[in-house]
Amino acid sequence: MEERNKTLGEFIIENQNAFQYSSGELSRIINSIRLAAKVVNYKVNKAGLVDIVGAAGEQNIQGEDQQKLDVYANEVFIQTLINREIVCGIASEENDQFITVEGSDNSHNNKYVVLMDPLDGSSNIDVNVSVGTIFSVYRRVTPIGSPVTIEDFLQPGTSQVAAGYVIYGTSTMIVYTTGHGVNGFTLNPAIGTFYLSHPDMKFSEDGHIYSINEGNYVHFPQGVKDYIKYCQSEEDDRPYTSRYIGSLVSDIHRNMIKGGIYIYPTSSKAPKGKLRLLYECNPMAFIVEQAGGKASDGFGRIMEIEPTELHERVPFFCGSYNMVEKAEEFMHKAKLSKY
């Protein structure tokens, strides 16, 4: 069978032994996410025709207005994972606290926890721009048989056993890694099957796209301002092209295919950054590194940060390796110039 005709299900089965722990649960988690993604994809694609667009009238733990599709996607992914009885805990960007999951016999024998952003970029739904789902899988650290605790979720990104995203765009794709490279699968909507369309995805070492919300320029730290000016200068192979969608999944997906850097720094409006370490940055960092790129907080590796709370925020720089290195160089220079 040719690589490009392989289904996601076939790929999971063929690569089962590549997982660090090959008892089957991890494969079933990916399969559950595949199922939930198809359900959410259906709703996203008909969002303009039904009463699913707009604000739900509530705010999430971060104080952000929840969109109706946020709430729907959150429920779909949580229920799909719970119903399959394959995880012992779930944490979502949309929920204040983590969810403890019991087996049908009231046991706590499952080994994995899932952290997720069920619908990243949902504010773009109203204007028909691509959105996505981000997920991250860890092996629990507390004893099997006991309920999960906060320690099972507050693990550094280096402990991830799988991470991925779903992008709901002109086509719907699942892109994921289990620590052995990155592969992308595109949904054939006619038959509801994901096929391997992007095997062994890689960032180019250099790129020509920088992705940042330049409308916030005046609020950025000096190192980021200096890097933006570097990107815009007419020198060598620059200026670079500015491309910013405002949907994390879409921006990073494009940059992985075309080569580029994505930056969401700290600012005077968001002194700790805006993106969440556990639901967005760690899973994306795992994918980016497995694709040959680099992920940083501007000074050090994202995946080595020790989380202290479920909804912790951090600055995020990721993409083509040499571009992130150069951005870090400007950050360090600006920091040193303060002293």
- For residue 207, say whether it is annotated as part of any ligand binding site: no
Distance CA 163, CA 62 (A): 23
- For residue 72, say whether it is annotated as part of any ligand binding site: no
Buried b (16+ CB within 10 A) or exposed e, 34-60: bbbbbebbebbeebeeeebbeeeeeeb
Give backbone dihedrals phi and psi of 230, rounded to 5 degrees, phi first.
Answer: -65, -45
Give backbone dihedrals phi and psi of 118, rounded to 5 degrees, phi first.
Answer: -65, -30
- For residue 164, say whether it is annotated as part of any ligand binding site: no
- For residue 274, say whether it is annotated as part of any ligand binding site: yes
- For residue 310, say whether it is annotated as part of any ligand binding site: no
- For residue 213, say whether it is annotated as part of any ligand binding site: yes
Q: How far is the CA of 70 from the CAs of 29, 47, 67, 121, 311, in angstroms?
A: 21, 12, 5, 9, 17
Cβ contact 85:104 at 8 Å: yes
Residue 334, token pair as written in the block: 């600006």
Distance CA 261, CA 254 (A): 10
- For residue 121, say whether it is annotated as part of any ligand binding site: yes
Half-sphere exposure (CA, 13 Å, Cβ side) for 28? 17
Give the count of beta carbons closer than 10 Å to the beta carbon of residue 325: 14
- For residue 337, say whether it is annotated as part of any ligand binding site: no
- For residue 335, say whether it is annotated as part of any ligand binding site: no
Tell me the longest C-alpha to C-alpha distance in the chain.
66
- For residue 244, say whether it is annotated as part of any ligand binding site: yes
- For residue 154, say whether it is annotated as part of any ligand binding site: no
User: Per the annotation, where are the binding residues for substrate?
Assistant: 120-123, 213, 244, 274
Where is the binding site, in residues?
93, 117, 119-123, 213, 244, 274, 280
Binding site feature residues for Mg(2+)? 93, 117, 119-120, 280
